[in-house]
Structure 1
Amino acid sequence: MADVREIKNRMNSVRDTMKITNAMHMISTTKLKQAKRALNKTEPFFEELQKTMHDIIKRFPSAPYIFFEDEENQKISKKKTCYLVITGDKGLAGAYNHNACKLALEHMEKNAGEESCFCTVGIFGYHFFSKKEYNLKKDFQFTASNPTLKKARLIADELVDMYLSRKADEIYVIYTKNESAISSKTIIEKLLPLSKENFQVREAASELPIYPSAEEIVSALVPDYLTGYIFATLMESYTSEQNARVMAMESATRNAKIMLQEMSIVYNRLRQANITQEITEVVSGARAQKNKKKMKFKEGDHSLS
């Protein structure tokens, strides 16, 4: 059994760890609120952009849009697939990072006959795919911890270039969606090519002037649409990461308190046992000294007689 000093050192170590986890919990809570506000501010613009694309495609469904699925794309036997995997820059967020990487690998294994490459957001994803020697095409560093519209546009431009240059026939994004305060879900969605069916769920505007052509307008709008879509996935992932870290740090702080309570009981018992032992030793020593004096006294009386 550990002695009193060792238990005390452990308790001090747990207290120091609890201070760190509690501070990280407060920081993540603040970042979570900021992420939700930023996402809510940008949603209206991109919703209107999506509505405009709805109206154009609804009125001109047979136009040859280069960013949409067509018969030529469907006939490709061995497609080149690119995965944009969004992870975090840090750990201590439960299974947040592992789930995104795991889902990307599972989807890649299902399409084993295709050529696959990866683009990563976040240091964790970069190390995961670079160490295991996967085909890592691009790493967008310092984006996961500070998602901005500018960074989302850089990612969208890179993916559009890959698609137009035929370096990738299909592009998917893997990110984590924050469903509630206590749950999140890692999902995969196709970015390119787009599906016309997803843009035909609402009635088109009665009068919508088209100039110079529906194809050119949609081709100009798609990069902006993808920018907004990617920014939304970045913010969703960032929100989910902070939410996961809040829950992880809250659990760690709670476990630290439980450990401290258990160690306090053990510490007090050991300390009480040590005090009892010291008292017993003092009493035994005093009794021995008393007996010794009695023996000396008796010996002295015997010598006088």
Structure 2
Amino acid sequence: MASLKEVRSRITSIISTQQITKAMKMVAAAKLRRAQDNIIQMRPYAQKLNEMLSTVSAGAELAAESPYNQVRPVERVLLIVVTSDRGLAGAFNTNVVKEAMSLINQRYAAQARRGNVEILAIGKKGAEAFQRRGFKVNTNYTDTFLSLSFAKVRSAAEEVMNAFTAGQYDQVEVVYNEFKNVATQIIRSEQFLPIVAAPTHSDTKASNVNYIFEPSEEEIITELIPKTLKIQLYKAVLESNASEHGARMTAMDKATDNAGELLKELKLVYNRTRQAAITKEILEIVGGAEALAQK
């Protein structure tokens, strides 16, 4: 049985840990509220932008001829992996890395064996995980979450888009956590480039409508496609940001509860140990008194 000093030391340590997890939960809750507002505001805009692109480009040869629509044999692959900069968020980062590795092993195994799978890491945890696995990792955007802004994500998107049009990559995919609620994050892997063609339905009349373009059709499509791609990546980053704070808030809440349960057990052990020590001392005193009485 542990000594009273050891048990007291463990109780003090757990109380300190519990205070830290409570503080981290509160901080995550405050950040989550702001991140959740950002993604809720972004979703309708991103959805409407995608709808607009689908409508304008339906049947338009200019959209089909866009450099971002060019389908090539997949020889070189880039995965944009969105994780967090810090841990203590449950399985948040692990799930993203697992999904990315599953994607590589199932879909791009041949390219990986030739060393043609690269990683663009948004967030430090993803960069560290894939560097340990021996992948070539672009770490230019690992600090994105230090001061999250559209400008930083736009730079990443432009670099990827330029590399794709230059033939450096034939396929680009994004792996991230989609925010559902505080306790639930959904792992998503979406094709970023080439652009996935919007589904067409034979019963729709959109393709038979004659649109009047102002400015020109070419200018609209030329501006709309790159902007949609940048917004798509920014939305994924915002989803991941909200998911991270939700996952951390949940993890710290569970850690606080676990610390409370452990404290109850340790206090019980402390009381039993203390009672045993007192009983031992009483027995020693009684034994000594009896020995003196017999003399």
| TM-align CA RMSD | 2.4
How many positions carry a matched residue from both structures? 288
- 1:239 matches 2:249: no
- 1:30 matches 2:26: no
- 1:104 matches 2:100: yes
* Identical-pair percentage: 29
Query: Which shows bigger deviation, 235-244 or 276-285?
Result: 276-285
The residue aligned with 2:142 is: 141
User: Structure 1 residues 81 and 223, CA, compared in 2 at 3 Å: closer, same or farther?
Assistant: same
TM-aligned CA deviation for residue 227 of structure 1: 1.7
Within-5 A mapping of 1:1-305: 1-58=1-58, 60=60, 63-67=63-67, 69=69, 73-74=71-72, 76=73, 78-110=74-106, 111-114=108-111, 115-198=116-199, 204=206, 208-210=211-213, 213-292=216-295
**Which of the two has higher C-alpha Rg?**
1
Q: CA–CA distance in 1 between the matches of 2:232 and 2:255?
A: 34
TM-aligned CA deviation for residue 25 of structure 1: 1.0
Contact 2:63/2:69 (<8 A) preserved: no
What secondary structure sits across from 1:195 in the alignment?
coil
Q: CA–CA distance in 2 between the matches of 1:222 and 1:199?
A: 18
User: Structure 1 residues 198 and 227, CA, compared in 2 at 3 Å: closer, same or farther?
Assistant: farther
Q: CA–CA distance in 2 between the matches of 1:200 and 1:93?
A: 42
What secondary structure sits across from 1:140 in the alignment?
coil
**Which letter maps to 1:99?**
N
TM-aligned CA deviation for residue 92 of structure 1: 1.0
**Runs of 5+ consecutive residues of structure 2 not aligned to the other structure:** none
**Runs of 5+ consecutive residues of structure 1 not aligned to the other structure:** 293-305
**Which letter maps to 2:98?**
K
What secondary structure sits across from 2:58 in the alignment?
helix
TM-score by length of 1: 0.85
